[in-house]
Structure 1
Amino acid sequence: MSRIVFVHGIAQETVGPESLLAEWYPALCDGLVLAGGEKPAREEVAMAFYGDLFRKAGHRGLGTPELDASDVEEGTERELLLQWWEYAAQLDPRLPGPGDRTRLRTVRPVQRALDALSHSAFFAGMGERLMIGAARQVRRYFTEQQVRDAIRERFERTLTEATRVVVAHSLGSVVAYEALCAGPDRPDVTLVTLGSPLGVRHLVFDRLRPPPHAGRARWPAPVRQWVNIADRGDLVALAKELRPLFGDRIRDLPIHNGAKAHDVRPYLTAVESGRAIAAGLAGPGA
């Protein structure tokens, strides 16, 4: 019976729940021990896995077809890449920035964005195919209802009556939020979001289900406490604080993950994450 449920983010299509847990579980234990908590037994932790839903079907050619700027779709994919570029340029003055937003409709803005991001600390060493693929999985989640429903079902299937803490990384925080909103009768849980894009206006926040009203999102009824943790250099978590959009009960905590700002492992080893998870396991009043 899983007391802790993990929800992963994008770009996990070629792994599986056990291989992900093999990476996440030791980092979880490190964070809990640093926070003065106890290690959970391995069988008390589960992964809500959905990466295979994004895995491409096999084909007769060799390798994976490359993607370039011409493959980027208008709308979510394009705007997400441009927002990542703008924020990366703010963090690193050595990167060429987009400048006047009006110029983004001319002079090959997507290719310029990809070129700049490839030299950023966040996307260093990542090819265009992977950057475009990351934006594409976000777009598919919000535009393909069958995919969205299947992902939520995977998460709901992983929750048990014993679940006390949900730890959601990246796009997984969107999955957890929507599913918890849809299940108001579930037992109370603590939600810990890591590197979450939930506060990104227009591309994520305004497309949530249930939809926000008057600029505020609905509080997920099963959640008794919510801790949101973000690194300043995390391009995915463009809005570092969720409290203004989701309610005053959220605790927004900044941390520093070093060179790997969005990597889940330094998020989990942070003492702030360990304290939030330990408090959730201890229950109300802890």
Structure 2
Amino acid sequence: MARIVVVHGIGQEFLGPEQMRGAAAPALRDGVRLAGAPPIPDEDVACAFYGDLYHEPGTRSGDLPPWDEGDVEEGLEEELLAAWWRAAAEADPAVDGPDEDGTRGLVGFGASRALHVQRVRAALDALAGSRFFGKVSDRLMVLALKQVRRYLTEPALRAAARDRVAAEVGPDTRVVVGHSLGSVVAYETLCAHPEWPVTDFVTLGSPLGLRGVVFDRLAPSPADGRGAWPGPVARWTNVADRGDVVALPDRLAGRFGERIADQRVDNGTRMHDLARYLAAPKTGAAVARGLS
């Protein structure tokens, strides 16, 4: 079995495990090399793929539904959209944030369906003008919201995604790397398997610490405001780009304990890109520590 298992994030439903591995393995090997560590062979890297779970069994949709502001559900989806909007406004001076009194923002939903749709439209328009989401269509943003919501609220999907991670971890596995929503899948799977030989957990662009939307819905549930430590892990390195709107907050030590090593990187204009995260020397150094 591979010594390193990479768990991808959202929006990969049209790919497959070999395609994901084909992209992730070279980037991670570059990160390790740029960190000055001994090179790792390609076969040391596996990808736990769960993107196909978002399709109906036996199907593979050719296009996304024509989602727009009317398809964003109240509750978790709107809360996550609001969090992205606030984070984008903090990171990008060109983005106006939501008004705290609710006149323009996502504060105060529930007055009417029309007001809900109006405020979602305002959020999508604001994010469309940000550096982070500028080239992302409404449909892709809504897709992201729905994939996060489905993972956190559909037990069968959640269990199946975690099973995909478990299938890739073997007696030789020492490092698990989780990107975006994949960091949540990896974290919960590690918590459920304290017997595994995994010593190092590396999270990239992770939303694990986002209160309300993600953090408070984790399994196991946080206790007294502190998240559980992920099972067998001895070292946890969290890597985040300061402009990554998904990495909320970009430091996890305050949620899971001071043992976490929070690291910042600069991914340029592709703040949340998996390949850029994997190729970062700080990511490579964290992975190399686990292999040594």
Residues 108-147 of structure 1: pairs in structure 2 closer than 5 A:
108-147=118-157
- 2:75 matched residue in structure 1: 75
- Counterpart of 1:270, as a letter, is A
* Deviation of the 1:221 alpha carbon: 2.5
**Given the superposition, is the C-alpha separation of residues 78 and 160 from structure 1 closer, same or farther in structure 2, using an over 3 Å criterion?**
same
In the alignment, structure 1 residue 172 sits paired with structure 2 residue 177? no
**Given the superposition, is the C-alpha separation of residues 63 and 252 from structure 1 closer, same or farther in structure 2, using an over 3 Å criterion?**
closer
- 1:48 matched residue in structure 2: 48
- 1:158 matched residue in structure 2: 168
- 1:206 matched residue in structure 2: 216
In the alignment, structure 1 residue 243 sits paired with structure 2 residue 253? yes
- 1:92 matched residue in structure 2: 92
Aligned Cα RMSD in Å? 1.7
Q: Could you list the per-position Cα deviations for residues 83-136 of structure 1 after superposition, in whole angstroms to 9, with x for gaps in the alignment?
A: 111111122222222122433334721100001111111112211010000010
**TM-score normalized by the length of structure 2:** 0.92
The answer to whether the 8 Å contact 1:14/1:55 transfers is: no
- Counterpart of 2:70, as a letter, is S
Size of the aligned set, in residue pairs, is 281
The answer to whether the 8 Å contact 2:239/2:263 transfers is: yes
| Aligned equivalent of 2:201, options 170, 176, 191 | 191
| Aligned equivalent of 1:228, options 238, 256, 260 | 238
- Counterpart of 1:275, as a letter, is A
Secondary structure class of the residue paired with 1:102 = coil
- 1:4 matched residue in structure 2: 4
**Given the superposition, is the C-alpha separation of residues 31 and 80 from structure 1 closer, same or farther in structure 2, using an over 3 Å criterion?**
same
**Distance in structure 2 (CA, Å) of the matches to 1:218 and 1:224:** 13
The answer to whether the 8 Å contact 1:191/1:226 transfers is: yes
**TM-score normalized by the length of structure 1:** 0.94
**Distance in structure 1 (CA, Å) of the matches to 2:63 and 2:31:** 38
- Counterpart of 1:110, as a letter, is V
**Given the superposition, is the C-alpha separation of residues 252 and 17 from structure 1 closer, same or farther in structure 2, using an over 3 Å criterion?**
same
- Counterpart of 2:27, as a letter, is A
The answer to whether the 8 Å contact 1:168/1:194 transfers is: yes
**Distance in structure 1 (CA, Å) of the matches to 2:62 and 2:22:** 30
- 1:16 matched residue in structure 2: 16
**Given the superposition, is the C-alpha separation of residues 90 and 160 from structure 1 closer, same or farther in structure 2, using an over 3 Å criterion?**
same
- Counterpart of 1:274, as a letter, is G
Deviating more after overlay: 30-39 vs 125-134 = 30-39
* Deviation of the 1:254 alpha carbon: 0.9
**Distance in structure 1 (CA, Å) of the matches to 2:165 and 2:63:** 31
Where does structure 1 differ by over 2 angstroms across 4 or more consecutive aligned residues?
A: 55-59, 61-65, 101-107
Q: Could you list the per-position Cα deviations for residues 226-263 of structure 1 after superposition, in whole angstroms to 9, with x for gaps in the alignment?
A: 00000110011010111111111110011111100000
**Given the superposition, is the C-alpha separation of residues 160 and 58 from structure 1 closer, same or farther in structure 2, using an over 3 Å criterion?**
closer
* Deviation of the 1:176 alpha carbon: 0.9
What percentage of aligned pairs have identical amino acids?
52
Unpaired runs of at least 5, structure 1: none
* Deviation of the 1:151 alpha carbon: 0.4
Unpaired runs of at least 5, structure 2: 109-114
